[in-house]
Amino acid sequence: MSDELPPTDEGPAGDSPATPDETSRGRRFGRGVVGFLLAALLGVVGAGVGLAAWGPVRADVGALRLGISIAPSTQGESVVDLSPLGAVKFDTHDAPLRFRASIDDFESTAARRAVRTGKLPSTKELQEAAPRALGIAGGTILLVAAGSGALLAGLVRRRWSAAAIGAVAPLVVVGGVIFASWRSFDLQTADPDCTGAIGLACEGVARVREAVDAKDSQTTDIGETAKTLAGFYLGAVGTDDATRDSTVRVLLISDVHLNPSSLGFAANLAEAFDVETVVNVGDDADWGGAVGNIVGGPKDVDVPYLWTRGNHDSLATQNELKKNGAVVLDNTSYTQAGVSYWGIGDPTFSPKADKTVVRLGEKQYKQKWSREVLVPALGKLASQPDVLVVHDPNMAAGLTNRPKLTVSGHTHKFKATTGRNPDGSPWAVVTNGSTGGAGLRVLDTGQERPMQACVIWLDKTTREPLFLDLFSFRPLVDDTYSAERVSLLPPS
């Protein structure tokens, strides 16, 4: 009889054979993993098909209706579609996703209202509207992706669990990519890449940037040139210390119009002539708005800086100048070095012209306003100021008895007139040119006006104007610099 035992199902020593239940569970687990991955893949594919079929998500930002869509991309970019003119691309984020925005419609009612009232959406309104619109668009995109993924996965796999996985997968994938894009999004440092006809506009923007940078770099040079030539001029005309001791000097500037170089020009003249006061008669801005605040207030000037509002300056610009240290004259008085000043802001605001201004015309309106507002305001003062500060000479047209000196700007052309009041007292009216050379129009050599400022000399005892020194600089056309002395003594 053999001693061998019958064969068994045991494997090598120490191993136990898998039971039928364990084998079945392993197969079910494998099928579950495959099913999960397949449902997730179907969900992602379905999300892509659904988003493509759905098209751009509409979102309103002010009067614009934008179409916002997303798509996979080899690099993170944002595209503004301006068809048929072309498109502008920005390398804005790191995630492999392309944001595309197109202007689908322009809400005509809002546009007409803006034109009629002269009130465009403020920066704050746009800042509040844009994130809200993008948030709605992002939420809609995620809902469409989840719904499309669930539908495709559910139909193919014919299970509710597959539909649920198909909904969650695109939420995780699409939501994760959108979140990564948001975390790395940076539009401020992104340079535009323009295609189509709009490329010409982008090239123009680049040239404007270069020109503005060039003007900024010229500020110091212009200021130093002003200082050097002013010193040379003072030596040439022979203004001695005795003359300085018996006079008060006032630097008059006007119509900066967003040209930052003008303040360097003015500051160095103020230093060279050792002026007691700087008077700016307004139009620091061009067409109102927050951009009008970029020039700032008194720079490198350590004497009182008086400022009155021009027709291009908004109240926001006025408040910004006040915050930066300017003494704002708006139906207010100020005394410095024994000289009294009274000024008032321009009654018109060009970016939003009043109907009455349009009907009468700016000149006639201001002359009427002068008789009805300025003359009574001066009449309420305890004593007449030595210097009347206004932006436009037409604002003082209603006066029959003029102060010793009236200073203004607005016309971009220098003019000085003198005369006597009915009681025989002398007066002078000085209208300065544009200290900013008519602003950024100075970049166009065909429209350049000279940068102008003048130093007005007043008798320290009588506070009557004696003469002025007018400085003109043309830095782009022919780089010429001129100075002349103009008498402010009236005919006897």
Q: For the chain, list the domains and their CATH numbers.
A: 32-195 (no CATH), 219-487 (3.60.21.10)
Banded model confidence at residue 205, pLDDT cuts 50, 70, 90: very low
- From the number of C-beta atoms within 10 Å of its C-beta (0-12, 13-18, 19+), residue 460 rates as middle
**Residue range 324-334: average pLDDT?**
94
Q: Give the least confident one: 181-185, 230-234, 322-326, 456-460.
A: 230-234
Sign of torsion over alpha carbons 152, 156, 160, 162: negative
Provide the angle, in degrees to the nearest 10, between the axes of the packed helices 123-157 and 160-184.
Answer: 150
Banded model confidence at residue 295, pLDDT cuts 50, 70, 90: low
Banded model confidence at residue 4, pLDDT cuts 50, 70, 90: low
Q: What residues are paired with 486 via a beta bridge?
A: 468
- Run of H or E residues at 174: helix 160-184
Q: Which is nearest to 147 in space by CA: 5, 63, 50?
A: 50
Write down the pLDDT at residue 332: 96
Write down the pLDDT at residue 207: 46
Q: Give the least confident one: 158-167, 285-294, 319-328, 356-365.
A: 285-294
Banded model confidence at residue 74, pLDDT cuts 50, 70, 90: confident
- In this model, does residue 11 exceed pLDDT 60? no
- In this model, does residue 440 exceed pLDDT 50? yes
User: Which long-range contacts does 291-296 make (Cβ < 8 Å, 24+ apart)?
Assistant: 291/258, 292/258, 292/316, 292/317, 293/317, 293/320, 294/258, 294/260, 295/256, 295/258, 295/259, 295/260, 295/263, 296/263, 296/320, 296/321, 296/324
Tokens of 133: 């619109």
* Highest mean pLDDT out of 8-17, 77-86, 423-432: 423-432
Write down the pLDDT at residue 217: 52
Strands 327-328 and 305-307: parallel
Structural contact between residues 407 and 252, judged by C-beta atoms closer than 8 angstroms:
yes
**Residue range 132-136: average pLDDT?**
66
Banded model confidence at residue 228, pLDDT cuts 50, 70, 90: low
Q: How far apart are CA 326 and CA 259, in angstroms?
A: 18
Cis preceding-peptide flag for 84 (omega within 30 of 0):
yes
More confident residue, 2 or 433: 433
Whole-number average pLDDT of the chain: 76
Write down the pLDDT at residue 116: 47
Banded model confidence at residue 159, pLDDT cuts 50, 70, 90: confident
Confidence (pTM):
0.57
Distance of CA 481 to the CA centre of its chain: 32
Write down the pLDDT at residue 118: 44
Counting residues of the chain whose pLDDT is more than 90, the rounded percentage is 29
Structural contact between residues 406 and 393, judged by C-beta atoms closer than 8 angstroms:
yes
What's the one-letter identity of residue 314?
S
Q: Which is nearest to 387 in space by CA: 349, 353, 337?
A: 337
| Cβ neighbours for 390, distance < 8 A, ≥ 6 positions apart | 281, 308, 343, 344, 346, 374, 396, 406, 407, 408
* Highest mean pLDDT out of 30-39, 50-59, 483-492: 483-492
Structural contact between residues 368 and 360, judged by C-beta atoms closer than 8 angstroms:
yes
- In this model, does residue 101 exceed pLDDT 60? yes
| Cβ neighbours for 215, distance < 8 A, ≥ 6 positions apart | 259, 260, 261, 440, 442, 443
User: ∠ at Cα 426 (424, 428), nearest 5°?
Assistant: 145
Write down the pLDDT at residue 15: 52
* Highest mean pLDDT out of 136-140, 235-239, 348-352, 445-449: 348-352
Q: How far apart are CA 146 and CA 151, in angstroms?
A: 9
